[in-house]
């Protein structure tokens, strides 16, 4: 089973980190990514770098900023191959964003059969 771990850092939780602390934090994320069960992942640029596109009446609307009007913005994700939800939860609990006051949403991926994927 593949699980997406959608990481929502607490807004501002990375502000004011010293260089050493920032390096240590990055290393922590890299270590999780290096786990052989971790088959994907990305660190997204901040929400104010986002551009959102929506369907409009006569043409698509392109706007500045993230889709949801929420304080918390998706900051990145991992994709983990795990036997069951408990294993996935254990991995998710080691994601630093949790410790720093943010949250991680765990969603299983829809299993796409190989024929359909090609």
Partner 1 sequence: MLASLVGLLGDIDFAEEAAQEAFAIAAERWPRDGTPGDPVAWLVATGRNRAIDRLRRQRTLQDKTQLLTDAQPMPTSDDLDLDDSTISDERLELIFACCHPALAVEAQVALTLRALGGLTTEEIARAFLVADETMKRRLSRAKAKIKVTAIPFAVPADHQLPGRLAAVLAVVYLIFNQSYPDRGELADEALALGRLLADQMADEPEVWGLLALMLLNDSRRLARVVDGELIPLAEQDRSRHDHAQIQQGRAALERALALRPDAGPYVLQAAIASLQAEQDIDWDQVALLYERLEGMTGSPVVTLNRAVAIAEAGMPQRALEVIDTLDLGEYRYLPSTRAELLRRVGRSDEARAAFEHALRLSTTDAERRLISRRLAGLSR
* Interface contacts to partner 1, rule CB under 8 A: 1, 3, 83-86, 89-90, 106, 108
Measured from the CB atom, the residue of 83 and 117 that comes closer to partner 1 is: 83
Q: Please, which residue, 3 or 8, has the CB nearer to partner 1?
A: 3
Q: CA of 111: how far to CAs of 3, 65, 81, 108, in Å?
A: 10, 31, 12, 9
* Tokens encoding 61: 């609307």
Q: Say whether 31 sits in a helix, a strand or coil.
A: helix
Beta carbon of residue 5, minimum distance to partner 1 (angstroms, whole number): 13
Rank residues 53 and 85 by Cβ distance to partner 1 and give the closer one.
85
- For partner 1, the closer of residues 65 and 108 by Cβ is 108
CB of 84 to partner 1, least distance (A): 4
Tell me how far, at minimum, the Cβ of 88 lies from partner 1, in Å: 8
DSSP letter, residue 112: -
Distance CA(73)–CA(12), nearest Å, equals 11
**Shortest Cβ 85–partner 1 spacing (Å):** 5
**Burial of 9 (C-beta count, 10 Å sphere; 0-12/13-18/19+):** buried
């Amino acid at each position: 089973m593949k699980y997406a771990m959608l990481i929502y850092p607490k807004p501002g939780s990375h502000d004011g980190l010293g260089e050493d602390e920032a390096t240590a934090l990055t290393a922590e994320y890299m270590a999780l990514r290096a786990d052989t069960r971790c088959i994907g992942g990305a660190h997204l640029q901040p929400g104010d770098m986002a551009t959102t596109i929506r369907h409009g009446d006569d043409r698509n609307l392109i706007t500045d900023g993230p889709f949801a009007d929420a304080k918390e913005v998706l900051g990145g994700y991992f994709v983990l191959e795990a036997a069951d939800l408990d294993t996935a939860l254990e991995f998710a609990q080691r994601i630093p964003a949790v410790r720093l006051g943010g949250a991680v949403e765990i969603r299983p991926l829809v299993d796409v059969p190989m024929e359909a994927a090609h």
